[in-house]
Amino acid sequence: MTFDENGRIAVQDGGSIVVTGTAEHIVTFASAKAAPAAGDWKGIEIYDTASTGNSFQYVSFAHGGGDDYGVIWVAGGASVAIDNCLFTDIQKYGVMFENAAEIESFTGNQFAGVDAYPIWVGANAVANLSPIVTDDVTDRVLIRAEDVDDAGTWKNLSIGYEVDYLYIHQPITLEAGTAFYLNQNSHITLADGGSLIAVGTELAPIVFTSAKAVPGAGDWKGILIYETASNDSVFENVMFQYGGGDDYGVIWVDGGASVSIDDCKFHEIQSYGVTFENGAEIGGFTGNEFTVIDTYPVWIGANSVPALDPIVTDGLSDALVKVRAEDIDDTGTWQNLSIGYDIDYLYVNAPITIAAGTTLYMHDNSHITIRDGGALALAGTDTDHVTITSYKDVPAAGDWKTILLYSTGSNGANIFTYADIMYGGADDDGQLWVQDGASVVLDHVVFSNGQTCDVYNDNGGATITVTDSTVIDCVI
């Protein structure tokens, strides 16, 4: 079948179209011109008033798409099956599915010489697409922004998806090797029961990156996980690139929300890599790598810190994990992450342990307060000390305040072993203040560069056991 210039077929008012070729006998829709070109004819329009059963099997579409709607346009509410079809030399889009269009099947299709996007599709219909073949590795499937209310699996189509924004309210699974190209200021929001299960492999990672030809940090915003989201979001073997274009990180996790992030890579990120609000739940955080992050690789509430495992920060010599100040009510161990922790202040109301080799970098006027059942164990070794020091590049005595041990804490558990504590004491109560009735063990602890003195025994009534340590007592 050939079409004159601007020719089209409109399917509506109970009509339907069924075109059935075979692999040996393909049906052809083409330009009537002797010297055909893309856009010579418009396309086939399937309206929501059309009947069901519309189908194209083994059909070749050539030199169409002469408007902005694709060589096949499917209205919201209309349905179609498109299988084993070939689209060549198409102006604008190959196939355009409006939001709420129903895709009965979409398998074995090929695209070559399409000016814009091979497919433009509503987000709820993406799960009905199957892999396609194109002649251009830079081709993408353009996802029409809408609330995603249908659960499903988004397949690796062999080309990536381009996204403005998505609001996901149902669980969506991404196949290994799938790539997402995000436009300026775009974001993916998980809320109201939504989640992303993004599990790639080492050889076929899932990728979230910039849609720009020349990408840069902050080109897109991030993935936002709200407390109303489902608790099964997983990112494993995922690459995040060029995101973080706001102040929330390329992944932001609300208090009460849950996520697992394992074996992921974060590269060229503006602001933070991952932000966990206070009360966020971390199902796993292992094997993650951060390179070229503007500020902190991780910003996290203090109660969630024990959920972190060591991270890799190639090229980030001054990288730190920023700890969000909050009352610590959960017992746990702060691991040596290979980078230090940046601390404003901590109120410790449950026993916590700082693992060997860990460094806490304290800000101006910062302090660590142990009270109400809390305890602090600095579990260094002779080869891997725990260090508490100033965050400043050029530190000085009194840069931070004090470690305060109150008698309401769990006194028998305050044990400092192989620790180096320096540049504190800004309030003249020493770098360690121990209240009357409280107790602490200092074993191979070196205090240095305090503002006035190191250990203050409140009223002389604290129990301070010192072994092989360097201490300047404060005069009472």
- pLDDT, one tens digit per residue, over 106-145 is 999 999 999 999 999 999 999 999 999 999 888 999 999 8
Confidence check: pLDDT of 342 > 80: yes
Tokens 């009905």 belong to 128
Instruction: Give pLDDT, residue 411.
Output: 84
Residue 317 clears pLDDT 80, i.e. is over it: no
Is residue 259's pLDDT more than 90? Answer: yes
State what percent of residues in the chain have pLDDT above 70: 99
Domain ranges of the chain: 1-122, 145-324, 325-476
pLDDT value, residue 315:
65
Query: Angle at Cα 332 formed by Cα 331 and Cα 337, nearest 5°?
Result: 155
- Nearest CA-CA partner of 136 in 157, 159, 155: 159
Look at residue 277 in the predicted model and tell me its pLDDT: 96
**What pLDDT score does 361 carry?**
98
Mean pLDDT of 32-41: 96
pLDDT digits (tens, 9 = 90+) for 80-112: 999 999 999 999 899 999 999 999 999 999 999
pLDDT (tens digit per residue) in 268-279: 999 899 999 999
pLDDT band (50, 70, 90) for residue 316: low
Length of the chain measured in residues: 476
Q: Name the pTM for this structure.
A: 0.95
